Amino acid sequence: MEDQKDANFSNIISITDLQNEYSTFNTKLNFFTKLEDGDKIYNADDEIVIDKKSYYQGLMRLIRGDNKYCTMNYLYNMQNNYFKFLKDIIDFLNNNNNNINYEIEEFIVCVNDLNKVILNGLDVLTNTYIDFEDMINYKREMIKKFNLFNFSIKNFINK
């Protein structure tokens, strides 16, 4: 019984843990703020690099053996980790007995701002990769998850 209690205690997430994870995601997803129409992206050493629209666009991707499918795979993996982070926030709120203070509200505002940055960046990418169905589906999935997250958060705040 004591081991189970310790295991449950070790699974508790603090606001500090969530803020640290947010900081990591904010840094990793910062490329979305720099995208412009016509830009393409690729994965280099576990980071997204923006390939600016130019005559030589795509050359680095070709040299590195990367393509839009490899990049989408990387984005899907990042998306899964980000969705787990959003779920952790909701779990934290559930375990926090709906005790929403200013620090938590500010944190949620920051997360929602990052969600908007991601969606704005995805608008640029879907315009660039206009016929690439994977990118369009990726954006749809992000919108659904963000809407679900916002709905869940509103339920906590309005209680």
Which position has the higher pLDDT, 4 or 109?
A: 109
Q: Are 121 and 33 in contact (CB under 8 A)?
A: yes
- Confidence class of residue 157 from pLDDT cuts 50, 70 and 90? low
pTM: 0.83
| Helix/strand/coil for 43 | strand
Domain assignment of residue 7, yes or no:
no
Determine the pLDDT at residue 4.
47
In the chain, how many domains are there?
Answer: 1
Q: What is the rounded distance in angstroms from the CA atom of residue 19 to the CA atom of residue 26? A: 10
Per the prediction, the chain carries an average pLDDT of: 86
pLDDT, tens digit (0-9, with 9 covering 90-100), for 112-135:
999 999 999 999 999 998 899 999
**Residue 4 falls inside a structural domain:** no
Long-range pairs, 118-121, Cβ under 8 A, ≥24: 118/29, 118/32, 118/142, 118/146, 119/143, 119/146, 120/32, 121/31, 121/32, 121/33, 121/35
Domain region containing 113? 15-157
- Note whether residue 54 is domain-resident: yes
Q: For residue 36, how many other CB atoms are within 10 A of its CB?
A: 10
CB 126 within 8 Å of CB 135: yes
Question: Does residue 23 fall inside a structural domain?
Answer: yes
Widest Cα–Cα separation across the chain: 66
Distances (CA, A) of 7 to 14, 60, 92, 95, 120: 15, 47, 16, 15, 40
**pLDDT tens digit sequence for 57-111:** 888 888 888 888 988 999 999 999 999 999 999 989 888 765 778 888 899 999 9
In a domain, 8, yes or no: no
The pLDDT assigned to 22 comes to 97
What is the model's pLDDT at position 7? Answer: 44
Q: Does the residue 10 lie in any domain?
A: no
Q: What is the pLDDT of residue 106?
A: 92
- Confirm whether 69 is domain-assigned: yes
Statement: residue 5 has pLDDT above 50: no
